[in-house]
Amino acid sequence: MIQSTIQFVLDNKIVEIDFKNSPYTPTTTVLNYLRSLPNHKGTKEGCAEGDCGACSVVLASINAEGNLTYKACDSCLIFLPMLQGKQLITVENVGTSDQMHPVQKAMVDTDGSQCGYCTPGFIMSMFALYKNHQNPSREVIDDALTGNLCRCTGYRPIIEAAIQSCVNEGKDHFEEKENEVKQLLYHIQHHQRSIHIYTEKQTYFQPKNLKDALGLRRQKPEALLINGATDLALKVTKNKELLPSLIDLSGIQELQQIEDLGKNIIIGSGATLEEIKNYCQEILPALYDTLAVFGSLQIRNLATMGGNLGSASPIGDTPPILMAYDASVIVQSVRGERTIRLLDFITGYRATLLEKDEIITHILVPKPAENVHVKWYKISKRKDLDISTVSAGFRLELDEDEVVKDIRLVYGGMAAMTKRAKEAEEYLLGKRWERSHIEHAMGLIDQAFTPISDARSSKDGRRVMARNLLMKFWVETVGVNV
């Protein structure tokens, strides 16, 4: 059974869009959709690439416990069909000048409302913070606001507004309407089928389960897969490309699970990076460190690990750390399933071993033994919301005499693909973990790489960074077994 329309909740009502009879296409962004409506122009376009947060909205959906969860997202990166089964909340819904929400009132009281362009986005991020945290720490507040830029004044009064307002267990007028909204969302879910949209120029499929997705992948090998669309949406918003055929995996619950299997953590390719981050803080701390500085909360609420590995970018943040953990990807097609070590999976610049009919379904991450040390480093021009200039995932196992039993030095940003410094690894294996050997190995790191010069750094700068990261790793791990 399939359907050709999408349904979501806006202004506490179900909205249905039939793309055959509408001015919208399946790749119209939620931002452009809102800007086309008479009463939702508070959502602004600043950059159209996920960097400024002026377009922030909140998406609410029902979680496994039957509660509504509220997530701030950049509406410039969301294609309309991705709203299926969700509540879209904009700044107009949060409050009005007659009936202000506590976060809006606090922004007024602290003089945090600085310009009309950015303030709606700040309100939306603060609203999601309000719903999810009571008395949040400064770290949580900073993280919630990282994806919202102000170019005029500064963040102090805005942060003060968040501190003042987020004290109320999320109580507000949304609470009164939650049951009503849940009924609407349950109604949509109950009638939900796989979505097949055919327009004159585009086809867009949103399968409801993995079986349907694999069937479609086989039938439409030319279609692009999307999940969070935080990479792919830029083709539309920046390059103005027409994407003729898309298979959107974001509605497949089977791909969104994260589970502890004992020796391994299995992560669904469609789990969002924010969900993975929250899950792995204790179990895979170096992966947590990676995700803590990945994009912004708005990006992590959409982006997936399947998308980060699927794009196989040489500056993608998860490949180096996942290779250091010795992770594998599980890929599936109607022909069956394969498990491939991530070290082998990425084969070149944005190239992988994925066949045309396959989908990355899971990532298998072995839990390291206690005496194995895994660390992650990222050098970028800014700590937050910035792409890596050089990144590294390192793994070290020492014996009781501080001799290297196993070592892996994986770098991002140093070549056309994520790559190991094999010469340095081979040199260090069997040697004592001491400074003189590290200094020699730093000289060998150059041999593995052909970095480029670009806006982020010169190639020589990258070489220095790569060498020094090894020294940093040594400083942080020397004597750990003592």
Ligand X SMILES: Cc1cc2nc3c(=O)[nH]c(=O)nc-3n(C[C@H](O)[C@H](O)[C@H](O)COP(=O)(O)OP(=O)(O)OC[C@H]3O[C@@H](n4cnc5c(N)ncnc54)[C@H](O)[C@@H]3O)c2cc1C
In this complex, which beta carbon is closest to ligand FES, that of residue 118 or of residue 214?
118
When binding is defined by CB under 6 A, the residue of 317, 326, 357, 425 that contacts ligand X is 317
Site for ligand X in 205-224 (CB under 6 A): 224
When binding is defined by CB under 6 A, the residue of 143, 212, 231, 425 that contacts ligand X is 231
Q: Return d(Cα 132, Cα 140) in angstroms, integer.
A: 11
Site for ligand FES in 62-121 (CB under 6 A): 74, 76, 114-115, 117-119
Structural contact between residues 78 and 32, judged by C-beta atoms closer than 8 angstroms? no
Q: Return d(Cα 317, Cα 385) in angstroms, integer.
A: 12
Q: What is residue 368's DSSP assignment?
A: P
Residue 124 CB, shortest distance to ligand FES, in Å, is 11
In this complex, which beta carbon is closest to ligand FES, that of residue 52 or of residue 444?
52
Q: Return d(Cα 14, Cα 186) in angstroms, integer.
A: 11
The 24-53 contact track toward ligand FES, x by CB under 6 A, reads ---------------------xxxx-xxxx
> 71, 362, 49, 32: which is closest to 230 by C-alpha?
49
Residue 149 backbone phi and psi in degrees, to 5: -100, 145
Q: Return d(Cα 371, Cα 480) in angstroms, integer.
A: 9
In this complex, which beta carbon is closest to ligand FES, that of residue 7 or of residue 28?
28
Residue 295 CB, shortest distance to ligand X, in Å, is 3
Question: What are the distances in angstroms from CA 64 to CA 68, 264, 321?
Answer: 10, 23, 29
In this complex, which beta carbon is closest to ligand X, that of residue 119 or of residue 389?
389
The 45-74 contact track toward ligand X, x by CB under 6 A, reads ----xxx-----------------------
Residue 234 CB, shortest distance to ligand FES, in Å, is 11
Residue nearest to ligand X (CB): 307
Ranges of H-type helices in 96-250? 102-109, 119-132, 138-145, 156-165, 173-190, 210-219, 233-237
The 146-175 contact track toward ligand FES, x by CB under 6 A, reads ----xxxx----------------------
Q: Choose the stretch contacting ligand X; rule: CB under 6 A; options: 25-33, 95-103, 180-188, 303-311.
A: 303-311
When binding is defined by CB under 6 A, the residue of 84, 308, 332, 418 that contacts ligand X is 308
Q: Cβ of 482: how many Cβ atoms within 10 Å?
A: 7
Nearest-5° Cα angle at 322, 318 to 328:
120
Q: Cα Rg for the chain, rounded, in angstroms? A: 23
365 binds, among ligand X, ligand FES, none (CB under 5 to 8 A by kind): none
> Residue 359 is encoded by which pair of tokens?
């989908």
Residue 425 CB, shortest distance to ligand X, in Å, is 23
224 binds, among ligand X, ligand FES, none (CB under 5 to 8 A by kind): ligand X
Q: Return d(Cα 408, Cα 263) in angstroms, integer.
A: 20
Helix (H, G, I), strand (E, B) or coil at 31: helix
Tokens 């959709």 belong to residue = 33
Residue 428 amino acid letter: L
Residue 294 CB, shortest distance to ligand FES, in Å, is 16
Residue 408 CB, shortest distance to ligand X, in Å, is 19
Structural contact between residues 90 and 42, judged by C-beta atoms closer than 8 angstroms? yes
Site for ligand X, rule CB under 6 A: 49-51, 224-232, 249, 269, 294-295, 299, 302-304, 306-308, 310-311, 316-317, 354, 359-360, 387
Site for ligand FES, rule CB under 6 A: 45-48, 50-55, 74, 76, 114-115, 117-119, 150-153
